[in-house]
Chain A
Amino acid sequence: MSLRLGLGVFGMQSVPQRPEHHVKLYADLLEDAELAESLGFDSIWLSEHHFWFDGYCPADIAAAGAILGRTKKLRAGTAVMLLPMHSVEKVAADAATINRIGEGRLVLGVALGYRDVEFDGFGVRRKDRGRLMDSMLPRLAEASRAADPSYPVYVGVGTAVAAQRAGRLGLPLFADSTMNVGELQEMLAAYNEAAATAGIKPPAKHALQRDVFVTDDRERDWAELLPELRYMRRQYGSWSAPQEAAEPVDAYVERLSGDIEAKLKNLVMGSADEVAGELRRFEALGFDLIVCRSQFGNLPRPLLRRAVEGLGRVRAMVER
């Protein structure tokens, strides 16, 4: 199996710097899906959050349905669905149906979720999320295998504990974008050990999410990209508490946006040749699907288009 590239990650956010209506954002998404299909991408990926001011996509399977209606070959994936705050029976029934009428093109990535307000909106205790995941994941895996056609379920992981959970079930990983090569190797080791202990032969290949930006003019694109990345950093940062107890939240969020290089240490940015070389390193670790996040929040359309077309050239280089 050769290395496949997915295009992501679409959160459908109406960001403050470009507060477009969601009907425009979803029309753009479907246009981007058609572009991705024409460029030969394996898949396009959606992200999920709930009850946020920018209208972050809360219903990935419904959005995937629209993509599968608009396209013929492209797969649509969730990166990631926050499983413990859902009903696993509903997810399984929705996924099986849309995968069937989408002619086997749905891919589910699932993970824990972390925002208190999202769990609370659905009447779920955040502290129960691990226990819920332990209960739901085997049921979803069984349902995915029983579906006709079956659909893949990847487990989103950023820690060894999460990797061990996936390993015990023999489910493939969907590795978080923030991990470096050393951390990925450690996580894969924890995964394989948990699988061996459970007496399960795990899949040899996994998926990885990576922040990727292909450019033929780094200086020009970085100047345009930086404010968008700063905003994204502030947003995700605001969903976590300050590490220092006395630090006010506003100051914490401001500090995060100034500390952008630390968060983006794993951003792969460069020419198509350079990016292709970087991505091949991950293939050697055991990742045969790399979901390249080139959409950060809601980039200006011309900037995103250039990045996607550049990534299309990378795809042609890495897919043999």
Chain B
Amino acid sequence: MRLGLGPIALARTTRAELEALARAAVAASFDAVWVAESRAEGVGGGLAAAALLSQLVPIRVGAVVDFGDHHPLYTAEDIAVADIASQGRIEVLLRGGTEEQVRLLVEALGGAHLRFEGATLRVPARLEANQPVPDAIALNPRPLQPAVPLWVEGIDAVRWRKGAAAPPTSGRWPVMLLCPGDVAAEDLLAATGGAATYFLVNATSPQDAIAAGRRLVGPLRMPDFPDWVRRQ
């Protein structure tokens, strides 16, 4: 089981609030702290914000990225630079986008020499006006991690509903569940049946983050968590 704090809405958070929540995530033993952009509100920069946050905390940093309205290679470049600057601690949840866009993104992040021919995307485009251009290009620099943990909302990921059974993971990463900040460990374990899961807990104040950590970290990380510890 893994625990992330967030996603913290960049649209409504100051630097001071962001720092306080991030430090609470470290203090409460979360594995990662996450931020979310909201391009519908004109709020972008999720990966740049993750890079910023990576300089403030030693744990992993995640970004919920609105994907699909722009060329996937922009996102690939943002991920690569943020991952390198954070020394390999970036995680990403994509919101929106088509399977073709995701395929191009994943190929680029993996370091493929791109000769991508999709239904709507072609890289290199080899537009008549841009000659000569090479037959293939590659993302450079590449992310530090051999594979950046990447979840795709609406394709493989599911939203958690209290009491609902979570589907098994279908990708290379544990399934991610977005959870309310006051969620109970028992409900999460019941929903997943104990399967490997990444719980993203949306506690919105440092106090709530600390409380969520105390409530969830022990029981989720180890079965048969002792009651006497819980009561302490």
Contact = CB atoms under 8 A, between A and B. Distances in A.
Interface of A: 12, 14, 22-23, 26-27, 29-30, 50-59, 61-66, 68-70, 86-87, 89-90, 92-98, 100-103, 116-117, 119-128
Contacts, number: 175
Interface string B114-138: 0000000111111101111110011
Contacts of B144: 22-23
20 contacts: A22-B144, A23-B88, A50-B77, A53-B140, A55-B140, A59-B81, A62-B48, A63-B51, A65-B47, A68-B52, A87-B71, A98-B45, A98-B52, A100-B15, A101-B14, A101-B52, A116-B133, A117-B124, A117-B130, A120-B127
A120 B136 CA distance: 11
A203 to B, nearest CB: 25
B88 to A, nearest CB: 7
B78 to A, nearest CB: 5
Interface string B52-71: 11111000000000000111
A62 B51 contact: yes
Contacts of B78: 59, 61-62
Given A97-B43, A121-B73, A66 B125 contact: no
B45 A65 contact: yes
B43 A93 contact: yes
A98 to B, nearest CB: 5
B15 A102 contact: yes
Interface bracket on B: 35 or more
Most buried by B among A98, A120, A122: A120
B54 A96 contact: no
B221 interface: no
B137 A51 contact: yes
Nearest to B66: A93
A220 B21 CA distance: 50
A30 B54 CA distance: 12
Contacts of A22: 84, 141, 144
Given A97-B10, A101-B10, 7 more contacts: A23-B84, A51-B138, A59-B82, A62-B48, A101-B13, A120-B125, A124-B127
A59 B70 CA distance: 14
Most buried by A among B39, B42, B44: B44
Given A23-B144, A94-B45, A98-B45, A69 B37 contact: no
A101 B131 CA distance: 41
Contacts of A87: 69-71, 74
Nearest to A116: B130
Contacts of A121: 73, 123-125, 137
Interface in B134-178: 134, 137-141, 144
Contacts of A86: 74
A68 B18 CA distance: 13
Interface in B66-101: 69-71, 73-74, 77-78, 80-82, 84-88
A125 B130 contact: yes
Contact of A96 (B42, B77, B121): B42
A116 B85 contact: no
Contact of A57 (B14, B44, B81): B81
Contacts of B47: 59, 62, 65
A65 B70 contact: no
A65 B10 CA distance: 13
B188 interface: no
A101 B43 contact: no
A70 B19 CA distance: 12
B81 A63 contact: yes
A56 B80 CA distance: 12
B132 to A, nearest CB: 7
B71 A125 contact: no
Nearest to B48: A65
B85 A51 contact: no
A52 B132 contact: no
Contacts of B48: 61-62, 64-65, 94, 97-98
A61 B39 CA distance: 16
Interface in B1-54: 10, 13-15, 18, 37, 39, 42-54
Contacts of B130: 116-117, 119-120, 125-126
B49 to A, nearest CB: 6
Contact of B137 (A66, A98, A101, A117): A117
Contact of B131 (A93, A102, A116): A116
Nearest to B47: A62
Contact of B134 (A14, A102, A117): A117
| Closest 3 A/B residue pairs (Cβ) | A93-B44, A69-B55, A65-B48
Contact of A116 (B18, B42, B43, B132): B132
A194 B121 CA distance: 40
A21 to B, nearest CB: 8
Nearest to A102: B52
